[in-house]
A and B are shown apart, each in its own frame.
Chain A
Amino acid sequence: MDAIAGLSLGFSHALTLTNLGWALLGCFLGTAVGVLPGIGPALTIALLLPITFQVPATGAFILFCGVFYGAMYGGSTTSILLNTPGESGSIITALEGAKMARSGRAGPALATAAIGSFVAGTIGTLGISFLGPVVVDVALMLGPAEYCALMVLCFVTVSAVLGGSALRGLTSLFLGLVLGLVGIDLQTGQPRLTFGIPELLDGVNVVLVAVALFAVGETLHLAWRHVEGRQEVRQVGRLMLSRADLRRSVGPWFRGSLLGFPFGVMPAGGTEMPTMLSYYAERKLASPEAQKEFGTTGAIEGVAGPEAANNAAAAGILVPMLTLGLPTSATAAIMLSAFQSYGINPGPLLFEQQADLVWTLIASLYVANLMLVVLNLPLVGLWARILTVPQPQLYAGILVFATIGTYGISNSVTDLVLLYGIGLVGMLMRRFDFPTAPVVIGMILGPMAEQAMRQALTISQGDWTVFVTRPGSLAILLLALAALAGPRLYAAWARRG
């Protein structure tokens, strides 16, 4: 099905009253939870997963689209008004946005972030609609060997290319792989790494691990370094963009979107790179007067560009997630596990077998995007008020929700022990600068990679050379090797020369 036919089918489903209602609810909840300090999009979606229990698949995924875009939007509000970015992609937004807020220009910063998100979301969603079917056509030609190679490439890029250290990134990834191994082996039915505990036969839940790392671990870390005193929430003030603000924002919105989307699509995952690049580009391109505002009173270009890049990259991540079933960010990994809980496996076949669902989902992304820009500017006062929830009750509340989200699903104290235990590990990871996203990604991709590898070897009758004799698989593996070794070789070369 081509994009136009798909979209018209999708919109015919998405624009029914019920589905519009789900989208609205998703946008509202996503923003409200995403605004809370320290809660990024991945944790927002994980905490809101239970509300889909009573909802059919289509409604649930429309809800998610709203939550996904809403959480992204809410995160930028927190970055600007409180200077506490909830995830790595909004660190740059906090950099300039918080400075603008300090010099009394929080309103324009929020407005440019909101409209920039809308521009980026629209460009990103257009990208998904038209690029998705193309990727699917290519993906249908891939065999298990290529899939396995592709996942190895994902492993390398999410853990070893970005971040402070390849050693620590890979350790996080391997921790995720271990957690993914726990439970019954799908091919032979043998229990693995269960330590004889019957509750572990079903494996460890991805959502539990995400909530443990992002909510429990983060709260423990904050308590360990807690200093009494309240954070100051900046006043919003006038929201309107002046003519000059608008002129300075338009270029960055489009440049940021066009920069961010390809980064999201490539399994290079992560929103840090495009937001950083957009920030440096805008600082270079800004007029001499505007350049003086960077790092001092806060430049609007430095909010508009990176925020657009962040949102476009987040939308781009949906392309490999929907078409190949490969999640390259923690948020995408949680969404993938939500698909799996409905017995749906994203991948090229999804576009053929469940065309209705996929295109309704894509159409809802347009709807959610539009709803957010209409909703959020008038409601910004409400979101700012959520930020004033006092810290003690906020963190206590987050832990209550983390607990019921885990205990409610399984009624098992073992799961609570896991939640708190992995939370402690998460706190240590935070202290020693181990990235947490590779754990979640490794946990969900690990079992998929193992299945693909074993299928490939079954087809080749145990011949391991299949991974290097098939040209597609060889090319992808070489790319992974280059991504792993390239930056280090370059650094060594630069030091000598």
Chain B
Amino acid sequence: MPPSRLSGPDLAVGLCVLLLGAVVLWQATAIPDSPIYAQVGPKAVPYAVGAGLLALGAGLTLSGLRGGWSWTLEEVREAPPRNLRAFLLLLAGLLVNLVLIVPLGFSLAAAGQFVLVAAAFGSRRTLRDAGLALVLCLAVWFGFVELLGVNIGAGLLEEAVLLALGQEPA
């Protein structure tokens, strides 16, 4: 039996889709008119997609007002309790990487992320994780730069290792 009350989370999803549709329409109006002659200009499809999203969002919002669809999902009904600690540690890991990758370089930033993500999933041996992370990230960096020829700027750690190996850092 569907619950008779509205479902908050499902309603929020519907509203987000409506918002996305509105943003797409707003951005579509901002597309400059094309100086090149074309039967169908660059705006037509963005307008159509935005309108489609508005219609779909309206449908989802209506569904949310009538009890939503989450109650039909077995995975949601039988889900274990939410684990805020794990989730926040993981988010912190992603953030650390974003903030540190430019000043410190890939290996140090990604190693920081590795330690936090491992901690999020219940690892308690932080020092061992850190050692493992540094080795892995350096290996990945050298693999990409040396074997695949991808240019990823050398950070502090990579430069130190390159100097130790007697090479000029690029």
Contact = CB atoms under 8 A, between A and B. Distances in A.
Interface string B51-81: 0110011011001000001101101100110
Interface in B20-71: 20, 24, 27-28, 31-32, 34-36, 38-42, 45-46, 49, 52-53, 56-57, 59-60, 63, 69-70
A453 B44 CA distance: 11
Given A50-B144, A181-B45, A392-B121, 16 more contacts: A171-B17, A174-B53, A181-B24, A189-B36, A190-B42, A193-B27, A223-B90, A225-B83, A226-B122, A396-B115, A404-B106, A404-B110, A408-B144, A409-B150, A411-B153, A457-B40
A177 B69 CA distance: 24
Nearest to B132: A393
B120 interface: yes
Contacts of B86: 223-224, 226
A453 B72 CA distance: 38
B114 A396 contact: yes
A428 B63 CA distance: 17
24 contacts: A164-B73, A167-B63, A175-B20, A177-B52, A181-B49, A188-B34, A188-B35, A188-B41, A189-B34, A392-B122, A392-B129, A393-B129, A400-B113, A400-B133, A401-B140, A404-B152, A409-B150, A428-B13, A432-B70, A433-B73, A433-B76, A457-B40, A461-B39, A462-B40
Contacts of A225: 79-80, 82-83
Interface string A176-203: 0110010001011111110100000000
The 8 nearest A-B residue pairs measured at CB: A392-B123, A392-B121, A188-B34, A392-B118, A396-B117, A185-B42, A226-B86, A223-B86
Given A188-B41, A192-B31, A227 B80 contact: yes
A407 interface: yes
A495 interface: no
A431 B76 contact: yes
A403 interface: yes
Interface stretch (A309-317, A361-369, A412-420): A412-420
A392 B110 CA distance: 15
- Name B's interface SS: helix
B148 A223 contact: no
Given A396-B133, A404-B141, A178 B10 contact: no
A453 to B, nearest CB: 7
B151 interface: yes
Nearest to B149: A54
A235 interface: no
A395 B102 CA distance: 23
Contacts of A403: 97, 106, 110, 113
Given A50-B148, A457-B40, A174 B49 contact: yes
Nearest to A420: B94
Contacts of A342: none
A167 B10 CA distance: 13
A349 B118 CA distance: 48
Interface in A405-457: 407-409, 411, 413, 416-417, 420, 423, 428, 431-433, 450, 453-454, 457
Of the four ranges (under 10, 10 to 19, 20 to 34, 35 or more), the interface on chain A belongs to 35 or more
B104 interface: no
Given A178-B20, A457-B39, A408 B49 contact: no
Contact of B106 (A164, A407, A457, A458): A407
B19 interface: no
B31 A191 contact: yes
A53 B150 CA distance: 8
A203 B117 CA distance: 29
Interface of A: 50-51, 53-54, 164-165, 167-168, 170-171, 174-175, 177-178, 181, 185, 187-193, 195, 216, 219-220, 222-228, 390-393, 395-397, 399-401, 403-404, 407-409, 411, 413, 416-417, 420, 423, 428, 431-433, 450, 453-454, 457-458, 461-462
Nearest to A434: B13
A227 B69 CA distance: 25
Contacts of A453: 40, 45
Interface string B97-120: 110011000100010011101111
Contacts of B75: 433
Given A54-B149, A392-B117, A223 B87 contact: yes
Nearest to A230: B122
B147 interface: yes
B148 A54 contact: yes
Given A404-B110, A404-B141, A411-B151, A228 B13 contact: no
A65 B102 CA distance: 36
Contacts of B70: 432-433
B59 A393 contact: no
A393 B123 CA distance: 8
A228 to B, nearest CB: 5
A454 B133 contact: no
B56 A167 contact: yes
B40 A223 contact: no
